[in-house]
Amino acid sequence: MHFFAAMLKLWHKYKYWLISLSALTWMTVFDSNNFIELIKLRSEVSDLREKRDYYHDEIIHVRSEEKDLFSSKRNLEKFAREKYLMKKDNEDLFILVEKKE
């Protein structure tokens, strides 16, 4: 009987600490929305935002290049020759490759 009385006395003295500790333990380990998962998800969101910004910048860059490319026939022809090694029917194409040492 003395054991239960002592436990009850301790419970009344530390009940707020025990409840807070058990809630914190539950939220940290067992809950589906625990703190560990929250930290992982925030890290993933940060990575996705960086990727979004990168691709947004790339889209702006590509649109700028597209505008320059299609602004004149000469730019389009230069791009086709340099990038895809295209040529006119009456031309010969020479590709110069630098030797790597």
Identity at 100, one-letter amino acid code:
K
* pLDDT confidence of residue 45: 98
Neighbouring residues of 81: CB distance < 8 A, sequence distance ≥ 6: 87
On whether the CB atoms of residues 69 and 76 are closer than 8 A, the answer is: yes
| Calpha distance 19→24 (Å, rounded) | 9
Hey, what are 73's tokens? 């026939």
Per-residue pLDDT of the chain (101 residues; tens, 9 = 90+): 688 888 888 888 888 888 898 888 887 777 777 778 888 999 999 999 999 999 999 999 999 988 988 888 888 888 888 888 888 788 877 777 888 87
* pLDDT confidence of residue 1: 67
